[in-house]
C-alpha cells in the first residue's frame, strides 16, 4: 500500500508539473500578464508560473539555465538572439505588443502635456530604468538625447534595475518624475493618478515586444497553449486596455 501511495504521489507531481509553464516576463508587462494568465488558466486548466524582471536580466538567467519555458521580452532583439543561440525554438517568435513610453509624476499638474518640464529642470530627480538592461530605459535615454537634454539631465537621473523599480521610485516620490511604461500608470484606459506625458514614438525606436518559446518548453503543451492564447482576441483586448498596441 505504501508503495502505491508513493507511486500515486509521484505520478501526481509529474502531471502537475506537466500542466505548468514557467514564464519569464518583462517587468513593464506585469499587470496585463497577470490579468491574461487569470483568463488563460480558467479557459485551459493549465497553470502559468510568472517571473518578472528586466529583459537583460531574464536573458542572463535563461543563458545560465533557468527553467523558463516561455519568454515575453520588452524588445525584439533578445528573443531573436536566443533563437540564434539555440536556446529558443526557431519560428516561434512573434510580436505580442508594442509599448508606449510615458513621463510620469505622482503629483497632479507637475508633468505638462508636452513634456516641457524636462526643459525647465524644476525637479531634483528623474527616474529611468537601466538602459543596458531595460528597453524602456534605452528608449528614455534615446528620447532625451533626441531632445538635446540628456547631458543636462544626466546628473539628476536615478536609475532602476528594471521598469518596475523605476515606477517605485516615482510612486514613492523618491524621484519627482520618471520614464515608465504607459501600462504601469493606466487603468481601464485612463491615467490612474498624477500627471503624465506620452512620449512621441518618433523620439525613440519602436518598443515592439516579442514572445518566444524557449527550448525547455518545446515539448510542453502548456507553453504552446500560452503562446497561442497570447495571440487570441481575448488576450489582445486585455493588452490594449493597458495602453499597448497589438
Show Cβ contacts of residue 146 under 8 Å, excluding neighbours closer than 6 positions: 203, 204
Q: What is the mean pLDDT of residues 107-114?
A: 95
Question: Residue 196 pLDDT more than 80?
Answer: yes
pLDDT of residue 17: 57
Distance between CA atoms of residues 146 and 148, nearest Å: 5
Does residue 217 contact residue 211 with C-beta atoms inside 8 Å? no
Q: Is residue 137 classed as helix, strand or coil in its secondary structure?
A: helix
Domain of 124: which CATH number? 3.40.190.10
Q: How many domains does the chain have?
A: 2
Express each pLDDT in 138-162 by its tens digit: 999 999 999 999 999 999 999 999 9
Distance between CA atoms of residues 114 and 246, nearest Å: 25
Question: Residue 111 pLDDT more than 90?
Answer: yes
Q: Which residue among 179, 198, 217 closes a domain?
A: 198
pLDDT of residue 166: 97
170 found inside a domain: yes
Is the same domain home to 10 and 70?
A: yes
157 found inside a domain: yes
Q: Which of 32, 9, 103, 47 minimizes the C-alpha distance to 221?
A: 47
Q: Is residue 213 classed as helix, strand or coil in its secondary structure?
A: strand
169 found inside a domain: yes
246 found inside a domain: no
pTM for the model: 0.84
Is the same domain home to 188 and 138?
A: yes
pLDDT of residue 5: 35
Is the same domain home to 61 and 112?
A: no
Is the same domain home to 210 and 92?
A: yes
Question: Residue 124 pLDDT more than 90?
Answer: yes
Express each pLDDT in 9-23 by its tens digit: 343 334 335 689 999
Amino acid at each position: 500500500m505504501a508503495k502505491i501511495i508513493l507511486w500515486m504521489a509521484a505520478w501526481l507531481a509529474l502531471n502537475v508539473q506537466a500542466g505548468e509553464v514557467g514564464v519569464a516576463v518583462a517587468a513593464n508587462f506585469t499587470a496585463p500578464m497577470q490579468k491574461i494568465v487569470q483568463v488563460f488558466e480558467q479557459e485551459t486548466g493549465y497553470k502559468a508560473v510568472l517571473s518578472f524582471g528586466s529583459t537583460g536580466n531574464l536573458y542572463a538567467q535563461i543563458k545560465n539555465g533557468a527553467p523558463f519555458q516561455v519568454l515575453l521580452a520588452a524588445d525584439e532583439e533578445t528573443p531573436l538572439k536566443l533563437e540564434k543561440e539555440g536556446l529558443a525554438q526557431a519560428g516561434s517568435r512573434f510580436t505580442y505588443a508594442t509599448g508606449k513610453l510615458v513621463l510620469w509624476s505622482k503629483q497632479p499638474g507637475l508633468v505638462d502635456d508636452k513634456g516641457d518640464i524636462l526643459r525647465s529642470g524644476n525637479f531634483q530627480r528623474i527616474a529611468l530604468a537601466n538602459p543596458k538592461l531595460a528597453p524602456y530605459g534605452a528608449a528614455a535615454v534615446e528620447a532625451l538625447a533626441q531632445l538635446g537634454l540628456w547631458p543636462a539631465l544626466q546628473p539628476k537621473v536615478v536609475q532602476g534595475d528594471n521598469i518596475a523599480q523605476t515606477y517605485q521610485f516615482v510612486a514613492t516620490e523618491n524621484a519627482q518624475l520618471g520614464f515608465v511604461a504607459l501600462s504601469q500608470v493606466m487603468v481601464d484606459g485612463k491615467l490612474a493618478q498624477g500627471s503624465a506625458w506620452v512620449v512621441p514614438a518618433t523620439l525613440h525606436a519602436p518598443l515592439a515586444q516579442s514572445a518566444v518559446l524557449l527550448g525547455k518548453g518545446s515539448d510542453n503543451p502548456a507553453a504552446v497553449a500560452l503562446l497561442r492564447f497570447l495571440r487570441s482576441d481575448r488576450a489582445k483586448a486585455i493588452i490594449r486596455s493597458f495602453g499597448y498596441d497589438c
